[in-house]
Amino acid sequence: MNYPIEYILLGASVLLLLSILASKIASKLSVPALIIFILVGMFAGSEGPGGIEFDDAWAAQFLGVIALAFIIFSGGLHSSWKRVSPVLWTGISLSTIGVFLTAILVGLFVHYFFDFSILTALLLGAIVSSTDAAAVFSVMSSSGTQLKGRLVDLLEFESASNDPMAVILTLGFVHLITNPDASIWRMIFLLLQQMVLGIVIGFVMGKAIVFKVNRLRLDFEGLYPVLTLSLVIFTYGITTSIGGSGFLAVYIAGLMMGGSEFVHKQSLTRFHDGLAWLLQITMFLLLGLLVFPSQILPVMFMGVLISIFLIFIARPLGVFISLPFGKNNLKEKTFISWVGLRGAVPIILATFPLLAGVPKADILFNVVFFIVITSVLVQGTTIPLVAKWLGVNAPEIKTKTEHVEFEFNYDENSQKTEIVIPQDSSAIGKQVVELGLPESAIIILIKRENSSIVPRGTTVIEGGDKLLFISENDDLPKIKSILGL
C-alpha cells in the first residue's frame, strides 16, 4: 500500500517521539531502551493498533546496515587506540574464536534437538553468534554501570569487531545451502580477507579523515559533519566493495579519530552521537515493523530453549575456551559471558536467508527475533546486578558541584609564557590543531596587531603573533622548537 508522503513523515515523527518518551520510562524501570524501540515498532505494525504494513526485508537490511555502520563508528569515536591496545589480542580472540565456537555449539544443539538440517542449524548458530555493538554501547551507557580495569574497553571492542566473523559465517552457510558444491575453504579465505582489509582500510581512512578535517578549512562549520558523514559512508562502501569488512573498517576509523586531535572535535562527536541514537531508534523501529507477533508464538518454545542454551552454555564456553591464558580472572570471564547481548545484528543477518530463499528462512527469522528479545530482556536488565554480584563493578564516584571563586596558582612545575612568532617560523600558516603541541600546553590568547583572539583548533598562526601559553616547565623547549625559536 502506498501512503502519501505527508502521512509517512507524520507517522515517522510520531514513532520517534513515542520511542524517545518510552526510553525515558524504560530508564526509570531499568529496562534497556532497545527493547522499547522494537516493541513500539511492533505496536505500530500491521498486527498492532498502528496497522502499518511493512514486510520489505531488503529495505530493512539496507537501512539496518547503514545504521550499524554509523553506530559502530560512533562507538569507536568515543574510544581511542590507547584504550583498546591493552585488550587488543583478548578482544580479537573473543571476536573470532569465541564467535566461531558459539556458532558451532548452537548449531549442533539445534540440529540434534529440532528438525533442522546440519547446515541450516549451523546457519542459525552463525546468525546469533556475535554480540551487538549497538546493544552493548546502549545498555552499558544507559545503565550507568562502571566496571573495574579494562572490562568496558574489552566488551566494547569485542562487540564492535566480532561482526565480520558472524557475517562471513552467515553468508558462507547461506552459500553452502544454496550451492551444495561450494568449498568450506573458501569461507576461511573470505574471513581472513575481511579482517585484514577491514583493519588496513579502517586505519588508513581514520588517519585520512583526521587529515582532511584539519586541512580542508571549510568556510562553514556546519559542513564538517557533512564531510565526516560522507567519509564514513565512503569507508564502509570502499571496504565492502573490495571484499573487506565495512563494519570493522568504520570502527577502526572511528578509533583512530577518537585518539587524535582535530578541529571541532567536541561538536563532531556530539553530532555523531546524536546521529547514532537516531539511526538506532529508526533501525529497531523498522525491525519491529518487520516482525509479525502471530508468527513468533509458534516458535516460542524453540526460542526459549535455544536462548537458554546460548546464554548459559554456548556463550560461556566460547568465552572461557577463547580466553584460557588471558589476564581476566574467573569472575571477569563470567561477566564477559553474561554481557553477550544480541541486538539488531542477528535480526539483520536473518534477512539474508530470507532474500536468498533458504528453506525455513521464515522460521529462522522468527526464532532469531525471539532470541534477541530474550537476550536483551534477561541479560540487558541484569547487567548492574550481575556486575555487583561478581564484584567487577567499580565504586560509584559521587560529585558535588558548587559555585566557588578561586585563583589559579602556578607551582614550580608550570608557568605562563608569552612567545612572539618570528616571520620565518615553520608554524606560520598552520592551524593550532596541526602544531603538535605537548598535552600540557594551552594557548590562552593570541595577540595580533591591535586585536586579541581566543584561539580555536582552526585558528591559523601568522607571523608576528604573540601567543600566551600555560605549560609545564619541561615542555617549554619542545614548544619553542615547534614554533621555530
Residue 153 burial class via C-beta count within 10 angstroms: exposed 0-12, middle 13-18, buried 19 and up: buried
3-state helix/strand/coil string of 328-377:
CCHHHHHHHHHCCCCCHHHHHHCHHHHHHCCCCHHHHHHHHHHHHHHHHH
78 located within any domain:
yes
Buried b (16+ CB within 10 A) or exposed e, 292-316: beeebeebeebbeebbebbbeebbb
Domain membership flag for residue 402 = no
- 403 within some domain: no
Handedness of CA 68, 70, 71, 75 (dihedral sign): positive
Please list the residues that pair with 414 across neighbouring strands: 472
Indicate which CATH number applies to the domain containing 458.
Answer: 3.30.70.1450
Domain region containing 433: 414-482
How many domains does the chain divide into? 2
Phi, psi of 121 (to 5 degrees): -65, -45
Amino acid (one-letter) located at 55: D
Shared-domain flag, residues 378 and 448:
no
Residue the block writes with cell 603573533: 465
- CATH code for position 234: 1.20.1530.20
420 plus 366 within the same structural domain? no
What's the CA gap between 212 and 351, in Å, rounded? 36
Q: Is residue 407 part of a domain?
A: no
- 80 and 202 together in one domain: yes
Pair 323, 180 in one domain: yes
Residue 404 maps to a domain: no
Same domain assignment for residues 108 and 238? yes
Domain assignment present for residue 397? The answer is: no
DSSP letter (8 states) at residue 244: S
Same-domain check for residues 232 and 270? yes
Note whether 323 and 444 are same-domain residues: no
The reply to whether 353 falls in a domain is yes
Residues 335 and 468 in one domain: no
Alpha carbon distance 228, 223 (integer Å): 9
Residues 424 and 371 occupy one common structural domain: no
| Crossing angle for the helix pair 163-178 and 118-127, to the nearest 10 degrees | 160
Residues 333 and 450 occupy one common structural domain: no
Residue 349 lies in a domain: yes
pLDDT in tens, the chain (485 residues): 566 788 778 877 888 888 778 777 766 666 667 777 777 888 887 777 777 777 777 887 888 888 888 888 887 787 767 777 888 888 889 988 999 999 999 999 999 999 899 999 999 999 999 887 666 666 666 666 677 777 877 887 887 778 778 888 898 899 889 887 777 787 788 878 888 998 899 999 999 999 988 888 787 888 999 999 999 999 999 999 998 888 889 988 988 888 788 888 888 888 988 888 788 788 778 878 877 778 888 888 999 999 999 999 999 999 999 987 667 889 999 999 998 888 778 888 888 898 888 988 989 989 998 898 888 888 877 888 888 898 887 665 444 444 444 444 445 567 777 888 888 888 888 888 788 888 778 888 888 877 788 887 778 888 888 888 888 777 778 888 888 77
